[in-house]
Chain A
């Protein structure tokens, strides 16, 4: 296996892992949006009614962008959206940690989290962000390669 093929295989594995994690995270939240809305309220950043909007829209964004990472037609947009989401999650957890909140993460539904686990959640999201950025860079490079430019007539 040459170097380029190994790189492509690695990116494919990363793509599948990131997509799987986001789909896995989205499904319980789509199934129980009220519980997820409570988890969002726990961060004490948005109002109650806005938290319901977040609980409705965010899980579908995770699901569509997660699946989208595997669909060539929308994978760049999906990768960008997932990167923005991960940056927001890291900022939210850091903010909650700094304020000493002991809340449910809401990451995969309604599991409970103690403040002592914030470092792990931030690290996990940072690793996911790094992986997603790798995939996004690869997809943007592939989209701008000369062979993808339609020939001039």
Chain B
């Protein structure tokens, strides 16, 4: 068994050398540097040029004050009432769905996007990076 351990150590050393080569020659992005976008996020500049259905994940009061043209209000509080019109709009004309909230620190858009993915598994769904720059 000690010889097997030696074999595993030799293999690990070669793997570490190879991984070091990949990392330090810049072939791969550095895993410790956080990417600009998280998985499932889209930037506003990219989002505004595509034909998408906007989903406003903020409170209904904030939605009433201002929202993106044509946006649907959908948050945890009004989910049961508003999910049907939204899915109807998507089924009628399937397009990417982009969920936004108000700021970088607002996590609601990601949560609502995750809930939407469960309801519409075939839909292309993003959360807006950084929130809506109103």
CB–CB B10/A55 < 8 A: no
What's the nearest-Cβ distance from chain A to residue B122, in Å?
Answer: 9
User: Hey, which chain A residues are within 8 Å of B28, CB to CB?
Assistant: 33-34, 37, 52, 55-56
Chain A contacts with B in 32-66, Cβ cutoff 8 A:
33-34, 37, 41, 48-50, 52-53, 55-57, 59-61, 63-65
Tell yes or no: B81 within 8 A of A by CB.
Answer: no
CB–CB A74/B7 < 8 A: yes
In the complex with contacts A49-B32, A49-B34, A56-B31, A77-B14 CB distance below 8 A:
no
CA distance A60 to B23 in the complex (A): 12
Tell yes or no: A68 within 8 A of B by CB.
Answer: yes
Tell yes or no: B88 within 8 A of A by CB.
Answer: no
What's the nearest-Cβ distance from chain B to residue A30, in Å?
Answer: 7
Tell yes or no: A76 within 8 A of B by CB.
Answer: yes
User: Hey, which chain A residues are within 8 Å of B15, CB to CB?
Assistant: 57, 60-61, 64
What's the nearest-Cβ distance from chain B to residue A102, in Å?
Answer: 9
Closest A residue to B8 by beta carbon equals: A77
CA distance A53 to B30 in the complex (A): 9
Tell yes or no: B82 within 8 A of A by CB.
Answer: no
Tell yes or no: B35 within 8 A of A by CB.
Answer: yes
Tell yes or no: B84 within 8 A of A by CB.
Answer: no
Tell yes or no: B4 within 8 A of A by CB.
Answer: yes
Tell yes or no: A83 within 8 A of B by CB.
Answer: no
User: Hey, which chain B residues are within 8 Å of A131, CB to CB?
Assistant: none
User: Hey, which chain A residues are within 8 Å of B4, CB to CB?
Assistant: 76-77, 80
CB–CB B10/A49 < 8 A: no
Q: Which of A31, A55, A78 contacts B7 (CB 8 A)?
A: A78
User: Hey, which chain B residues are within 8 Å of A33, CB to CB?
Assistant: 22, 27-28
CB–CB B29/A34 < 8 A: yes
CB–CB A57/B19 < 8 A: yes
Tell yes or no: B18 within 8 A of A by CB.
Answer: yes
CB–CB B7/A60 < 8 A: no
CA distance A68 to B31 in the complex (A): 27
User: Hey, which chain A residues are within 8 Å of B38, CB to CB?
Assistant: 48
11 chain-A/chain-B pairs, Cβ below 8 angstroms? A30-B18, A33-B22, A33-B27, A34-B29, A41-B39, A53-B31, A56-B23, A56-B28, A65-B11, A78-B11, A81-B8
Which B residues are within 8 Å of any A CB, using their own CB? 3-4, 7-8, 10-11, 14-15, 18-19, 22-23, 27-32, 34-35, 38-39, 121
